[in-house]
Structure 1
Amino acid sequence: AHGEVLYVGKSTQVRTRLLSYFRLPWPEHRHARLLRETSRIEWEPHPSEFAALLREVRLIRAHLPRYNVRSARPLDKWWVITIGRGPAPRLRIQRASAAARSREVAQVIGPFASRRPLQDALRVLNDALGLRDCGDRVRMHTTDSAELFEQTHPALQRTPGCHRYETRRCLGPCIGATSEYAYRAQLTRARAVLEGRDDTPHQHLVREMTVASAALSYERAGWLRDRLTALQEFDAQLARVREALTRPSFVYAVPGRDGDDRLYLVRHGRVMAEARCSDPDAINALQAMERAPAQAPTGAMVDQLDELLLVESWFRGRNGADALAADTVVGALEKLATHVRSAGLAAERQGG
Protein backbone atom coordinates (compact mmCIF):
# COMPACT_ATOMS: atom_id res chain seq x y z
CA ALA A 1 0.00 0.00 0.00
CA HIS A 2 2.98 2.33 0.53
CA GLY A 3 4.45 1.64 -2.90
CA GLU A 4 7.13 -0.88 -1.92
CA VAL A 5 7.86 -3.46 -4.61
CA LEU A 6 7.38 -6.87 -2.98
CA TYR A 7 8.17 -9.28 -5.79
CA VAL A 8 9.36 -9.30 -9.41
CA GLY A 9 8.85 -12.35 -11.61
CA LYS A 10 8.79 -13.47 -15.23
CA SER A 11 6.26 -15.77 -16.86
CA THR A 12 5.04 -16.71 -20.33
CA GLN A 13 1.57 -17.51 -18.85
CA VAL A 14 0.85 -14.58 -16.56
CA ARG A 15 -2.79 -15.47 -15.85
CA THR A 16 -1.99 -19.06 -14.86
CA ARG A 17 0.97 -17.92 -12.76
CA LEU A 18 -1.06 -15.37 -10.81
CA LEU A 19 -4.03 -17.67 -10.25
CA SER A 20 -1.71 -20.32 -8.80
CA TYR A 21 -0.77 -17.93 -6.00
CA PHE A 22 -4.40 -17.76 -4.82
CA ARG A 23 -4.52 -21.53 -4.25
CA LEU A 24 -1.49 -21.71 -1.97
CA PRO A 25 -1.84 -22.59 1.73
CA TRP A 26 -1.85 -19.72 4.21
CA PRO A 27 0.38 -18.92 6.08
CA GLU A 28 2.84 -21.69 5.18
CA HIS A 29 3.69 -20.57 1.64
CA ARG A 30 5.56 -17.32 1.15
CA HIS A 31 3.54 -16.40 -1.97
CA ALA A 32 0.34 -16.69 0.06
CA ARG A 33 1.87 -14.30 2.59
CA LEU A 34 2.95 -12.10 -0.30
CA LEU A 35 -0.65 -11.75 -1.53
CA ARG A 36 -1.81 -10.61 1.92
CA GLU A 37 0.52 -7.61 1.62
CA THR A 38 -0.14 -6.87 -2.05
CA SER A 39 -2.36 -3.93 -2.99
CA ARG A 40 -1.56 -3.74 -6.72
CA ILE A 41 -0.25 -6.10 -9.42
CA GLU A 42 1.44 -4.68 -12.51
CA TRP A 43 2.75 -6.45 -15.59
CA GLU A 44 4.74 -5.49 -18.67
CA PRO A 45 4.75 -7.38 -21.99
CA HIS A 46 8.12 -7.97 -23.66
CA PRO A 47 8.91 -9.27 -27.16
CA SER A 48 11.27 -12.09 -26.13
CA GLU A 49 12.44 -14.13 -23.17
CA PHE A 50 15.84 -12.40 -23.24
CA ALA A 51 14.17 -8.97 -23.05
CA ALA A 52 11.99 -10.13 -20.15
CA LEU A 53 14.95 -11.60 -18.27
CA LEU A 54 16.94 -8.41 -18.71
CA ARG A 55 14.03 -6.30 -17.44
CA GLU A 56 13.52 -8.66 -14.49
CA VAL A 57 17.18 -8.44 -13.49
CA ARG A 58 17.16 -4.65 -13.65
CA LEU A 59 13.96 -4.32 -11.62
CA ILE A 60 15.27 -6.68 -8.94
CA ARG A 61 18.54 -4.74 -8.84
CA ALA A 62 16.67 -1.45 -8.47
CA HIS A 63 14.20 -2.54 -5.77
CA LEU A 64 15.74 -5.65 -4.09
CA PRO A 65 12.24 -7.01 -3.30
CA ARG A 66 12.12 -8.99 -0.06
CA TYR A 67 9.92 -11.76 -1.49
CA ASN A 68 12.41 -12.57 -4.24
CA VAL A 69 14.36 -15.53 -2.89
CA ARG A 70 18.11 -15.81 -3.36
CA SER A 71 17.83 -17.78 -6.61
CA ALA A 72 15.89 -14.86 -8.11
CA ARG A 73 18.30 -12.24 -6.73
CA PRO A 74 21.63 -13.05 -8.38
CA LEU A 75 23.59 -10.55 -6.31
CA ASP A 76 22.67 -12.38 -3.09
CA LYS A 77 24.48 -15.51 -4.26
CA TRP A 78 27.85 -13.91 -4.92
CA TRP A 79 30.66 -12.37 -2.92
CA VAL A 80 32.85 -9.45 -3.94
CA ILE A 81 35.93 -7.70 -2.57
CA THR A 82 35.34 -4.01 -2.02
CA ILE A 83 37.73 -1.15 -1.36
CA GLY A 84 36.14 1.63 0.63
CA ARG A 85 36.81 5.32 1.03
CA GLY A 86 38.51 7.34 3.73
CA PRO A 87 42.12 7.89 4.84
CA ALA A 88 42.87 4.19 5.43
CA PRO A 89 40.34 1.99 3.61
CA ARG A 90 40.47 -1.77 4.00
CA LEU A 91 39.86 -4.69 1.69
CA ARG A 92 36.48 -6.05 2.65
CA ILE A 93 34.47 -9.13 1.68
CA GLN A 94 30.77 -8.41 1.11
CA ARG A 95 27.72 -9.87 -0.48
CA ALA A 96 27.35 -8.33 -3.90
CA SER A 97 23.87 -7.11 -2.95
CA ALA A 98 25.23 -5.30 0.13
CA ALA A 99 27.97 -3.70 -1.94
CA ALA A 100 25.36 -2.52 -4.46
CA ARG A 101 23.45 -0.72 -1.69
CA SER A 102 26.53 0.80 -0.04
CA ARG A 103 27.64 4.35 -0.75
CA GLU A 104 31.06 3.79 0.83
CA VAL A 105 32.39 1.50 -1.90
CA ALA A 106 35.03 2.94 -4.24
CA GLN A 107 36.00 -0.21 -6.16
CA VAL A 108 34.64 -3.72 -6.55
CA ILE A 109 36.49 -6.92 -7.52
CA GLY A 110 34.47 -10.04 -8.23
CA PRO A 111 32.21 -11.95 -8.33
CA PHE A 112 33.27 -15.01 -6.31
CA ALA A 113 31.17 -18.03 -5.43
CA SER A 114 32.64 -18.75 -1.98
CA ARG A 115 33.68 -16.54 0.94
CA ARG A 116 36.15 -18.82 2.73
CA PRO A 117 38.96 -18.79 0.12
CA LEU A 118 38.71 -15.00 -0.01
CA GLN A 119 39.20 -14.73 3.74
CA ASP A 120 42.37 -16.82 3.70
CA ALA A 121 43.86 -15.00 0.70
CA LEU A 122 43.07 -11.49 1.93
CA ARG A 123 44.64 -12.29 5.29
CA VAL A 124 47.86 -13.19 3.50
CA LEU A 125 47.66 -10.12 1.25
CA ASN A 126 47.00 -7.77 4.18
CA ASP A 127 49.93 -9.20 6.11
CA ALA A 128 52.25 -8.88 3.12
CA LEU A 129 51.36 -5.25 2.40
CA GLY A 130 50.62 -4.00 5.93
CA LEU A 131 46.96 -3.21 5.32
CA ARG A 132 44.53 -3.10 8.20
CA ASP A 133 41.78 -5.68 8.68
CA CYS A 134 40.06 -4.21 11.73
CA GLY A 135 36.39 -3.20 11.75
CA ASP A 136 34.93 0.01 10.41
CA ARG A 137 34.24 1.31 13.91
CA VAL A 138 37.96 1.60 14.67
CA ARG A 139 38.96 5.22 14.19
CA MET A 140 41.99 5.91 12.00
CA HIS A 141 44.68 8.41 13.01
CA THR A 142 47.26 8.83 10.26
CA THR A 143 50.25 11.12 10.78
CA ASP A 144 48.83 13.50 8.18
CA SER A 145 45.78 14.22 10.34
CA ALA A 146 47.29 13.88 13.84
CA GLU A 147 47.25 16.88 16.13
CA LEU A 148 50.58 18.44 17.16
CA PHE A 149 50.39 17.38 20.82
CA GLU A 150 49.32 13.85 19.91
CA GLN A 151 52.73 13.33 18.31
CA THR A 152 54.80 14.73 21.18
CA HIS A 153 52.95 14.27 24.48
CA PRO A 154 53.41 10.77 26.00
CA ALA A 155 49.99 10.81 27.67
CA LEU A 156 48.28 11.19 24.32
CA GLN A 157 50.07 8.32 22.59
CA ARG A 158 47.69 5.60 21.39
CA THR A 159 48.10 1.86 21.71
CA PRO A 160 47.33 -0.54 18.83
CA GLY A 161 43.95 -2.21 18.82
CA CYS A 162 45.45 -5.58 17.84
CA HIS A 163 48.76 -7.41 17.73
CA ARG A 164 49.34 -7.03 13.99
CA TYR A 165 51.27 -3.77 14.37
CA GLU A 166 53.69 -5.28 16.92
CA THR A 167 54.32 -8.25 14.63
CA ARG A 168 54.98 -5.89 11.68
CA ARG A 169 52.00 -7.08 9.66
CA CYS A 170 50.12 -3.76 9.74
CA LEU A 171 51.26 -0.18 9.14
CA GLY A 172 49.28 0.92 12.19
CA PRO A 173 46.96 3.63 10.86
CA CYS A 174 44.88 3.29 14.04
CA ILE A 175 47.71 4.76 16.20
CA GLY A 176 49.15 7.28 13.76
CA ALA A 177 52.14 5.10 12.88
CA THR A 178 51.85 5.80 9.15
CA SER A 179 50.80 8.58 6.83
CA GLU A 180 47.79 8.47 4.54
CA TYR A 181 50.14 8.71 1.56
CA ALA A 182 52.20 5.67 2.67
CA TYR A 183 49.08 3.64 3.39
CA ARG A 184 47.51 4.47 0.04
CA ALA A 185 50.74 3.50 -1.72
CA GLN A 186 50.36 0.01 -0.24
CA LEU A 187 46.68 0.01 -1.17
CA THR A 188 47.67 0.80 -4.76
CA ARG A 189 49.98 -2.22 -4.69
CA ALA A 190 47.05 -4.34 -3.43
CA ARG A 191 44.94 -3.14 -6.36
CA ALA A 192 47.76 -4.11 -8.72
CA VAL A 193 47.84 -7.61 -7.20
CA LEU A 194 44.06 -7.96 -7.52
CA GLU A 195 44.21 -6.80 -11.14
CA GLY A 196 47.03 -9.22 -12.01
CA ARG A 197 49.72 -6.56 -12.50
CA ASP A 198 51.92 -7.37 -9.48
CA ASP A 199 53.06 -10.68 -7.96
CA THR A 200 55.42 -9.25 -5.30
CA PRO A 201 53.61 -10.98 -2.37
CA HIS A 202 53.97 -14.33 -4.13
CA GLN A 203 57.70 -13.80 -4.68
CA HIS A 204 58.19 -12.68 -1.08
CA LEU A 205 56.51 -15.84 0.25
CA VAL A 206 58.62 -18.04 -2.07
CA ARG A 207 61.82 -16.39 -0.81
CA GLU A 208 60.80 -16.76 2.84
CA MET A 209 59.87 -20.41 2.28
CA THR A 210 63.26 -21.08 0.66
CA VAL A 211 65.09 -19.47 3.58
CA ALA A 212 63.04 -21.46 6.12
CA SER A 213 63.71 -24.73 4.30
CA ALA A 214 67.45 -23.99 4.13
CA ALA A 215 67.45 -23.33 7.87
CA LEU A 216 65.62 -26.68 8.44
CA SER A 217 62.66 -24.78 9.88
CA TYR A 218 60.17 -27.12 8.25
CA GLU A 219 57.20 -26.08 10.38
CA ARG A 220 57.56 -22.45 9.30
CA ALA A 221 58.17 -23.55 5.70
CA GLY A 222 54.95 -25.54 5.77
CA TRP A 223 53.04 -22.55 7.19
CA LEU A 224 54.45 -20.33 4.44
CA ARG A 225 53.56 -22.96 1.83
CA ASP A 226 49.92 -22.94 2.98
CA ARG A 227 49.80 -19.16 2.73
CA LEU A 228 51.33 -19.26 -0.74
CA THR A 229 48.79 -21.89 -1.82
CA ALA A 230 45.93 -19.70 -0.59
CA LEU A 231 47.29 -16.77 -2.57
CA GLN A 232 47.78 -18.88 -5.72
CA GLU A 233 44.24 -20.29 -5.56
CA PHE A 234 42.93 -16.76 -5.07
CA ASP A 235 44.95 -15.60 -8.08
CA ALA A 236 43.36 -18.37 -10.18
CA GLN A 237 39.89 -17.12 -9.17
CA LEU A 238 40.88 -13.56 -10.07
CA ALA A 239 42.11 -14.76 -13.46
CA ARG A 240 38.69 -16.31 -14.17
CA VAL A 241 36.96 -13.07 -13.17
CA ARG A 242 39.26 -11.01 -15.40
CA GLU A 243 38.61 -13.39 -18.30
CA ALA A 244 34.86 -12.93 -17.93
CA LEU A 245 35.21 -9.15 -17.80
CA THR A 246 37.46 -8.86 -20.84
CA ARG A 247 35.37 -10.86 -23.25
CA PRO A 248 35.06 -9.24 -26.66
CA SER A 249 32.09 -7.07 -27.46
CA PHE A 250 29.39 -8.25 -29.81
CA VAL A 251 25.91 -7.40 -31.05
CA TYR A 252 23.17 -9.90 -30.27
CA ALA A 253 20.05 -10.08 -32.45
CA VAL A 254 16.89 -11.39 -30.78
CA PRO A 255 13.75 -12.20 -32.83
CA GLY A 256 10.75 -10.73 -31.06
CA ARG A 257 7.06 -11.38 -30.82
CA ASP A 258 4.89 -9.72 -33.49
CA GLY A 259 7.98 -8.62 -35.40
CA ASP A 260 9.46 -6.63 -32.51
CA ASP A 261 13.04 -7.75 -33.25
CA ARG A 262 15.81 -6.10 -31.24
CA LEU A 263 19.56 -5.71 -31.20
CA TYR A 264 21.58 -5.68 -27.97
CA LEU A 265 25.07 -4.21 -27.73
CA VAL A 266 27.05 -6.34 -25.27
CA ARG A 267 30.33 -4.98 -23.96
CA HIS A 268 32.49 -7.17 -21.71
CA GLY A 269 29.57 -9.38 -20.77
CA ARG A 270 27.10 -6.58 -20.01
CA VAL A 271 24.23 -5.13 -22.02
CA MET A 272 25.14 -1.52 -22.76
CA ALA A 273 22.30 -0.57 -25.13
CA GLU A 274 19.45 -1.97 -27.20
CA ALA A 275 17.52 -0.90 -30.28
CA ARG A 276 14.37 -1.94 -32.12
CA CYS A 277 15.21 -3.14 -35.62
CA SER A 278 12.21 -1.21 -36.94
CA ASP A 279 13.62 2.11 -35.65
CA PRO A 280 16.35 3.47 -37.99
CA ASP A 281 17.36 6.22 -35.56
CA ALA A 282 17.87 3.70 -32.76
CA ILE A 283 19.96 1.49 -35.07
CA ASN A 284 22.13 4.47 -36.03
CA ALA A 285 22.61 5.35 -32.36
CA LEU A 286 23.61 1.77 -31.63
CA GLN A 287 26.15 1.86 -34.45
CA ALA A 288 27.63 5.06 -33.02
CA MET A 289 28.01 3.40 -29.63
CA GLU A 290 29.52 0.35 -31.30
CA ARG A 291 32.24 2.49 -32.94
CA ALA A 292 33.08 4.31 -29.70
CA PRO A 293 36.21 2.92 -28.00
CA ALA A 294 35.56 1.00 -24.81
CA GLN A 295 38.18 0.32 -22.16
CA ALA A 296 38.09 -3.13 -20.62
CA PRO A 297 37.17 -2.91 -16.93
CA THR A 298 39.67 -4.06 -14.31
CA GLY A 299 36.95 -4.86 -11.79
CA ALA A 300 33.28 -5.71 -11.90
CA MET A 301 30.81 -2.85 -11.64
CA VAL A 302 28.56 -4.19 -8.94
CA ASP A 303 25.51 -2.37 -10.26
CA GLN A 304 25.83 -4.42 -13.47
CA LEU A 305 27.17 -7.65 -12.03
CA ASP A 306 23.79 -9.35 -12.28
CA GLU A 307 23.64 -8.58 -16.01
CA LEU A 308 27.06 -10.16 -16.51
CA LEU A 309 25.80 -13.31 -14.80
CA LEU A 310 22.60 -13.27 -16.88
CA VAL A 311 24.44 -12.94 -20.21
CA GLU A 312 26.92 -15.65 -19.24
CA SER A 313 24.21 -18.14 -18.25
CA TRP A 314 22.09 -17.31 -21.33
CA PHE A 315 24.81 -18.08 -23.84
CA ARG A 316 26.04 -21.08 -21.87
CA GLY A 317 22.64 -22.72 -21.55
CA ARG A 318 21.04 -22.13 -24.95
CA ASN A 319 22.31 -23.78 -28.08
CA GLY A 320 22.00 -21.57 -31.12
CA ALA A 321 22.12 -18.24 -29.30
CA ASP A 322 25.65 -17.65 -30.59
CA ALA A 323 24.35 -17.99 -34.16
CA LEU A 324 22.60 -14.61 -33.83
CA ALA A 325 25.63 -12.80 -32.36
CA ALA A 326 27.95 -10.80 -34.60
CA ASP A 327 30.84 -8.37 -34.29
CA THR A 328 28.89 -5.48 -35.79
CA VAL A 329 25.34 -4.16 -36.00
CA VAL A 330 25.26 -4.84 -39.76
CA GLY A 331 26.41 -8.42 -39.22
CA ALA A 332 23.75 -9.01 -36.57
CA LEU A 333 21.04 -7.62 -38.86
CA GLU A 334 22.15 -9.95 -41.65
CA LYS A 335 22.04 -12.96 -39.33
CA LEU A 336 18.61 -11.92 -38.09
CA ALA A 337 17.30 -11.60 -41.67
CA THR A 338 18.62 -15.08 -42.48
CA HIS A 339 16.97 -16.49 -39.36
CA VAL A 340 13.62 -14.85 -40.16
CA ARG A 341 13.67 -16.18 -43.74
CA SER A 342 14.49 -19.70 -42.51
CA ALA A 343 11.69 -19.55 -39.93
CA GLY A 344 9.24 -18.33 -42.60
CA LEU A 345 10.12 -21.16 -44.97
CA ALA A 346 9.73 -23.70 -42.17
CA ALA A 347 6.30 -22.29 -41.33
CA GLU A 348 5.22 -22.47 -44.97
CA ARG A 349 6.27 -26.11 -45.22
CA GLN A 350 4.32 -26.99 -42.09
CA GLY A 351 1.27 -25.12 -43.39
CA GLY A 352 1.52 -26.84 -46.80
Structure 2
Amino acid sequence: MGADNSKNTVEVESKDDRKARLKHLIKRLPNLPGVYKMLGKNGDILYVGKAKSLKSRVNSYFAKTIDHPKTRALVARIHNIETIITRSETEALLLEQNLIKEYRPPYNVLLRDDKSYLYVFISADKPYPRLAYGRGKGNHQKGRFFGPFPSAHAAKETLVLMQKMFQMRQCTNTFFKQRKRPCLEYQIKRCRAPCVGLVSPEEYLEDVNNTIRFLKGDSSDIHSALIEKMEGAAEALDFEKAVFYRDQLSMLREVQARQAVYTVQGEADV
Protein backbone atom coordinates (compact mmCIF):
# COMPACT_ATOMS: atom_id res chain seq x y z
CA MET A 1 0.00 0.00 0.00
CA GLY A 2 1.51 3.30 -1.11
CA ALA A 3 2.30 6.08 1.32
CA ASP A 4 0.02 9.11 1.36
CA ASN A 5 2.19 12.14 0.65
CA SER A 6 -0.69 14.64 0.52
CA LYS A 7 0.19 16.10 3.94
CA ASN A 8 3.72 16.83 2.77
CA THR A 9 2.59 18.61 -0.38
CA VAL A 10 2.96 22.40 -0.27
CA GLU A 11 0.38 24.18 -2.34
CA VAL A 12 2.13 26.66 -4.64
CA GLU A 13 0.06 29.57 -5.87
CA SER A 14 0.21 29.98 -9.63
CA LYS A 15 0.99 33.28 -11.28
CA ASP A 16 -2.58 33.59 -12.54
CA ASP A 17 -4.03 32.80 -9.11
CA ARG A 18 -1.83 35.44 -7.53
CA LYS A 19 -2.96 38.04 -10.07
CA ALA A 20 -6.61 37.15 -9.51
CA ARG A 21 -6.20 37.39 -5.74
CA LEU A 22 -4.48 40.79 -5.94
CA LYS A 23 -7.10 42.04 -8.40
CA HIS A 24 -9.82 41.09 -5.94
CA LEU A 25 -7.91 42.84 -3.14
CA ILE A 26 -7.53 46.05 -5.20
CA LYS A 27 -11.26 46.15 -5.93
CA ARG A 28 -11.86 46.42 -2.18
CA LEU A 29 -9.49 49.36 -1.68
CA PRO A 30 -11.14 52.72 -0.94
CA ASN A 31 -10.91 55.89 -3.00
CA LEU A 32 -9.29 57.64 -0.05
CA PRO A 33 -5.85 59.11 0.65
CA GLY A 34 -3.35 56.93 2.42
CA VAL A 35 -0.19 54.86 2.32
CA TYR A 36 0.25 51.43 0.74
CA LYS A 37 2.88 48.78 1.39
CA MET A 38 3.77 46.23 -1.28
CA LEU A 39 4.75 42.95 0.40
CA GLY A 40 6.83 40.07 -0.91
CA LYS A 41 6.24 36.34 -0.58
CA ASN A 42 7.64 36.23 2.96
CA GLY A 43 5.87 39.37 4.11
CA ASP A 44 8.89 41.59 3.54
CA ILE A 45 8.15 45.19 2.56
CA LEU A 46 9.21 45.77 -1.05
CA TYR A 47 7.88 49.27 -1.55
CA VAL A 48 6.02 52.01 0.31
CA GLY A 49 4.01 54.69 -1.48
CA LYS A 50 1.33 57.31 -0.86
CA ALA A 51 -1.78 58.16 -2.81
CA LYS A 52 -4.69 60.58 -3.07
CA SER A 53 -6.78 57.55 -3.98
CA LEU A 54 -5.47 54.19 -2.79
CA LYS A 55 -7.58 52.25 -5.26
CA SER A 56 -6.50 54.25 -8.32
CA ARG A 57 -2.83 54.38 -7.40
CA VAL A 58 -2.42 50.71 -6.50
CA ASN A 59 -4.41 49.64 -9.54
CA SER A 60 -2.07 51.62 -11.80
CA TYR A 61 0.79 49.23 -10.96
CA PHE A 62 -1.06 46.40 -12.68
CA ALA A 63 -1.86 48.28 -15.89
CA LYS A 64 -0.73 46.56 -19.08
CA THR A 65 0.99 49.76 -20.24
CA ILE A 66 3.65 49.70 -17.48
CA ASP A 67 7.01 49.84 -19.26
CA HIS A 68 9.47 50.77 -16.53
CA PRO A 69 11.70 47.74 -15.73
CA LYS A 70 11.82 48.54 -12.01
CA THR A 71 8.03 48.70 -11.77
CA ARG A 72 7.60 45.46 -13.70
CA ALA A 73 10.12 43.75 -11.42
CA LEU A 74 8.31 45.06 -8.36
CA VAL A 75 4.88 43.92 -9.55
CA ALA A 76 6.24 40.45 -10.29
CA ARG A 77 7.26 40.08 -6.62
CA ILE A 78 4.10 41.48 -4.98
CA HIS A 79 2.19 38.86 -2.98
CA ASN A 80 0.15 41.11 -0.73
CA ILE A 81 -0.73 44.77 -0.23
CA GLU A 82 -1.38 46.52 3.06
CA THR A 83 -2.88 50.00 3.34
CA ILE A 84 -3.18 52.70 5.96
CA ILE A 85 -5.92 55.25 5.36
CA THR A 86 -5.27 58.86 6.35
CA ARG A 87 -7.59 61.82 6.68
CA SER A 88 -5.47 64.05 4.46
CA GLU A 89 -2.90 63.82 1.69
CA THR A 90 -0.48 65.76 3.90
CA GLU A 91 -0.61 63.03 6.53
CA ALA A 92 -0.09 60.42 3.82
CA LEU A 93 3.06 62.25 2.68
CA LEU A 94 4.50 62.47 6.18
CA LEU A 95 3.58 58.89 7.03
CA GLU A 96 5.13 57.63 3.80
CA GLN A 97 8.51 59.24 4.51
CA ASN A 98 8.51 57.88 8.08
CA LEU A 99 7.80 54.33 6.88
CA ILE A 100 10.41 54.54 4.14
CA LYS A 101 12.97 55.74 6.65
CA GLU A 102 12.06 52.95 9.10
CA TYR A 103 11.90 49.99 6.72
CA ARG A 104 14.22 51.01 3.84
CA PRO A 105 12.24 49.08 1.19
CA PRO A 106 14.47 47.92 -1.69
CA TYR A 107 12.28 49.43 -4.40
CA ASN A 108 12.28 52.89 -2.84
CA VAL A 109 15.62 53.30 -4.58
CA LEU A 110 15.91 57.05 -4.11
CA LEU A 111 16.51 56.53 -0.41
CA ARG A 112 19.85 54.90 -1.18
CA ASP A 113 21.19 58.30 -2.23
CA ASP A 114 20.63 61.06 0.35
CA LYS A 115 21.49 63.64 -2.33
CA SER A 116 18.29 62.71 -4.18
CA TYR A 117 15.90 63.19 -1.29
CA LEU A 118 14.56 66.30 0.35
CA TYR A 119 15.02 67.16 4.01
CA VAL A 120 13.51 69.86 6.18
CA PHE A 121 16.23 71.37 8.34
CA ILE A 122 16.61 73.87 11.17
CA SER A 123 19.89 75.73 10.92
CA ALA A 124 22.35 76.14 13.77
CA ASP A 125 22.29 79.95 13.49
CA LYS A 126 22.12 81.72 16.85
CA PRO A 127 19.96 83.21 18.25
CA TYR A 128 17.47 82.94 15.36
CA PRO A 129 17.72 79.62 13.46
CA ARG A 130 16.27 79.28 9.99
CA LEU A 131 13.70 76.72 8.82
CA ALA A 132 14.17 75.53 5.24
CA TYR A 133 14.45 72.48 3.00
CA GLY A 134 16.85 71.13 0.42
CA ARG A 135 18.27 68.02 -1.19
CA GLY A 136 20.73 65.90 0.76
CA LYS A 137 22.13 66.41 4.23
CA GLY A 138 25.61 67.22 3.00
CA ASN A 139 24.60 70.17 0.85
CA HIS A 140 23.50 72.49 3.65
CA GLN A 141 24.81 74.38 6.64
CA LYS A 142 24.96 72.67 10.01
CA GLY A 143 21.69 72.03 11.79
CA ARG A 144 19.00 69.46 12.57
CA PHE A 145 17.48 67.49 9.70
CA PHE A 146 14.05 65.90 9.41
CA GLY A 147 13.01 63.52 6.67
CA PRO A 148 13.68 62.41 4.06
CA PHE A 149 10.55 63.64 2.29
CA PRO A 150 9.41 61.79 -0.85
CA SER A 151 8.79 64.94 -2.93
CA ALA A 152 9.31 68.69 -3.10
CA HIS A 153 5.56 69.07 -2.63
CA ALA A 154 5.69 67.19 0.66
CA ALA A 155 8.58 69.27 1.98
CA LYS A 156 7.05 72.59 0.88
CA GLU A 157 3.68 71.70 2.37
CA THR A 158 5.34 70.87 5.67
CA LEU A 159 7.21 74.19 5.66
CA VAL A 160 4.03 76.18 5.02
CA LEU A 161 2.36 74.37 7.89
CA MET A 162 5.29 75.15 10.19
CA GLN A 163 5.28 78.80 9.10
CA LYS A 164 1.62 79.23 9.93
CA MET A 165 1.90 77.51 13.30
CA PHE A 166 5.27 78.57 14.71
CA GLN A 167 6.40 81.45 12.48
CA MET A 168 10.08 80.58 12.20
CA ARG A 169 12.02 82.57 9.63
CA GLN A 170 12.81 80.95 6.27
CA CYS A 171 14.82 83.75 4.68
CA THR A 172 18.50 83.40 3.85
CA ASN A 173 21.07 84.78 6.28
CA THR A 174 22.02 87.51 3.79
CA PHE A 175 18.42 88.68 3.49
CA PHE A 176 17.96 88.42 7.25
CA LYS A 177 20.96 90.66 8.04
CA GLN A 178 19.94 93.35 5.55
CA ARG A 179 16.41 93.91 6.86
CA LYS A 180 15.56 97.28 8.37
CA ARG A 181 11.84 96.62 8.69
CA PRO A 182 9.57 93.54 8.69
CA CYS A 183 8.89 91.85 5.34
CA LEU A 184 5.62 90.51 3.93
CA GLU A 185 5.99 87.24 5.86
CA TYR A 186 5.48 89.20 9.07
CA GLN A 187 2.42 90.98 7.69
CA ILE A 188 0.71 87.69 6.81
CA LYS A 189 1.68 86.16 10.18
CA ARG A 190 4.19 83.63 8.90
CA CYS A 191 7.19 85.12 10.68
CA ARG A 192 7.68 87.06 13.92
CA ALA A 193 10.30 89.39 12.40
CA PRO A 194 13.37 88.44 14.45
CA CYS A 195 15.38 90.40 11.85
CA VAL A 196 14.28 93.67 13.45
CA GLY A 197 13.99 92.45 17.04
CA LEU A 198 10.21 92.07 17.27
CA VAL A 199 10.63 88.76 19.09
CA SER A 200 13.12 87.99 21.84
CA PRO A 201 15.66 85.15 21.47
CA GLU A 202 13.91 83.35 24.36
CA GLU A 203 10.48 83.53 22.73
CA TYR A 204 11.90 82.53 19.37
CA LEU A 205 13.58 79.53 20.97
CA GLU A 206 10.14 78.36 22.13
CA ASP A 207 8.97 78.46 18.51
CA VAL A 208 12.05 76.50 17.43
CA ASN A 209 11.51 73.85 20.10
CA ASN A 210 7.83 73.54 19.21
CA THR A 211 8.72 73.12 15.54
CA ILE A 212 11.17 70.35 16.43
CA ARG A 213 8.59 68.63 18.63
CA PHE A 214 5.99 68.76 15.89
CA LEU A 215 8.36 67.37 13.25
CA LYS A 216 9.22 64.54 15.66
CA GLY A 217 5.51 63.83 16.23
CA ASP A 218 5.33 65.13 19.83
CA SER A 219 2.32 67.39 19.27
CA SER A 220 0.68 66.48 22.60
CA ASP A 221 3.57 68.11 24.47
CA ILE A 222 3.14 71.27 22.40
CA HIS A 223 -0.57 71.31 23.20
CA SER A 224 0.06 71.29 26.96
CA ALA A 225 2.82 73.90 26.72
CA LEU A 226 0.68 76.29 24.67
CA ILE A 227 -2.23 76.05 27.10
CA GLU A 228 0.13 76.88 29.97
CA LYS A 229 1.62 79.84 28.06
CA MET A 230 -1.80 81.17 27.07
CA GLU A 231 -3.16 80.99 30.60
CA GLY A 232 0.00 82.58 32.00
CA ALA A 233 -0.17 85.47 29.56
CA ALA A 234 -3.86 86.04 30.35
CA GLU A 235 -3.17 86.11 34.09
CA ALA A 236 -0.42 88.65 33.49
CA LEU A 237 -2.92 90.74 31.46
CA ASP A 238 -0.73 90.37 28.39
CA PHE A 239 -3.71 89.79 26.14
CA GLU A 240 -1.85 90.26 22.87
CA LYS A 241 0.47 87.39 23.74
CA ALA A 242 -2.46 85.32 25.04
CA VAL A 243 -4.19 85.75 21.68
CA PHE A 244 -0.98 84.68 19.91
CA TYR A 245 -0.81 81.44 21.92
CA ARG A 246 -4.54 80.90 21.47
CA ASP A 247 -4.18 81.13 17.69
CA GLN A 248 -1.27 78.67 17.74
CA LEU A 249 -3.30 76.29 19.88
CA SER A 250 -6.30 76.55 17.58
CA MET A 251 -4.15 75.82 14.52
CA LEU A 252 -2.51 72.86 16.25
CA ARG A 253 -5.89 71.38 17.16
CA GLU A 254 -7.06 71.78 13.57
CA VAL A 255 -3.97 70.04 12.23
CA GLN A 256 -4.27 67.21 14.77
CA ALA A 257 -7.91 66.64 13.81
CA ARG A 258 -7.17 66.75 10.08
CA GLN A 259 -4.10 64.55 10.23
CA ALA A 260 -5.24 61.84 12.63
CA VAL A 261 -4.19 58.54 11.10
CA TYR A 262 -6.26 55.43 11.45
CA THR A 263 -6.02 51.96 9.97
CA VAL A 264 -9.03 50.17 8.54
CA GLN A 265 -8.77 46.64 9.90
CA GLY A 266 -9.13 43.96 7.28
CA GLU A 267 -9.28 46.42 4.40
CA ALA A 268 -6.44 44.67 2.59
CA ASP A 269 -7.29 41.15 3.69
CA VAL A 270 -8.45 38.57 1.19
Structure (1 or 2) with the larger CA radius of gyration: 1
- Give the TM bin, normalised by the shorter chain: 0.3 to 0.5
- What TM-score does the superposition give when structure 2 sets the normalisation length? 0.40
Structure with larger RCO (C-alpha < 8 A, sep 6+):
2
- What TM-score does the superposition give when structure 1 sets the normalisation length? 0.31
